[in-house]
């Protein structure tokens, strides 16, 4: 198995993050630093990250977490802020599937399945996410909604068409399948409605529902199958 994929299957990091670990010289095989993510390895190859031996794949798990505001979507934070991994019980080594801004709340997934995380976040698989935005400015108009649905021009290019539903004069649900930084906030700002509060309420087939803020739950077998179904190439 290729080294980056081996690390992902072992629950160390997503495949892309594993490639970064390798590029940073933090991965050794048989005691020697390896910089090739395609290096073939197995359970008897002596793979280690930062000197810690990696002992093969763990049982695959995925958790849904209702992320509160002020919590960062990383496994560790150099500034000492609380992280999403600290809110999941069980002591497993998990990492978040994508990110939410510190001020954004709502549904985030955490897993030790690097291949699934890669598929759920890579643009090629077009996994949809729905956000509920409370916006400022004048009441939402059909013109603004049409612009969001058609795609708006941002400084890093035009966004793909979105599904948008107006809930009240200052609240909307917006569904996208891209993952640009601060994308929903920038889209709303572009049409004259700065975001005041933002929450992710759906990720692929999973809904936030009534999961309390700060709480996590392990996904059921049926939910895992539904996730696998949407994480297939289009």
Q: Which residues are catalytic?
A: 101
Whether 100 and 200 have beta carbons less than 8 Å apart is answered as yes
Whether 74 and 83 have beta carbons less than 8 Å apart is answered as yes
Whether 173 and 167 have beta carbons less than 8 Å apart is answered as yes
List 166's β-bridge partners, or say none: 172
Q: Which long-range contacts (CB under 8 A, 24 or more apart) does 176-179 make?
A: 176/128, 176/129, 176/131, 177/123, 177/126, 177/127, 177/128, 177/129, 178/123, 179/98, 179/121, 179/123, 179/129
């Amino acid at each position: 198995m290729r080294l980056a994929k081996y690390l992902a299957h072992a629950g160390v990091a997503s495949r892309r993050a594993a490639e970064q670990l390798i590029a940073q010289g933090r991965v050794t095989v048989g005691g020697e630093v390896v910089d090739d993510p395609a290096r073939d390895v197995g359970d008897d190859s002596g793979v280690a990250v930062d000197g810690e031996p990696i002992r093969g794949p763990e049982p695959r798990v995925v958790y849904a977490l209702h992320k509160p505001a002020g919590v960062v979507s990383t496994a560790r934070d150099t500034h000492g802020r609380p992280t999403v991994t600290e809110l999941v019980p069980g002591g497993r080594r998990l990492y978040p599937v994508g990110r939410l801004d510190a001020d954004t709340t709502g549904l985030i997934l955490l897993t030790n399945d690097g291949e699934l995380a890669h598929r759920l976040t890579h643009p090629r698989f077009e996994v949809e996410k729905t956000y509920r935005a409370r916006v400022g400015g004048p009441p939402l108009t059909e013109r603004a909604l049409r612009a969001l649905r058609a795609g708006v021009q941002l400084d890093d290019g035009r966004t793909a068409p979105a599904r948008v539903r107006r809930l009240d004069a200052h609240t909307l649900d917006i569904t996208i399948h891209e993952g640009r930084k601060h994308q929903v906030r920038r889209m709303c700002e572009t049409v004259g409605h700065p975001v005041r509060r933002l929450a992710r309420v759906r990720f692929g087939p999973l809904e936030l529902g009534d999961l309390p803020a700060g709480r996590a739950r392990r996904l059921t077998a049926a939910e895992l199958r539904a996730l696998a179904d949407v994480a297939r190439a289009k």
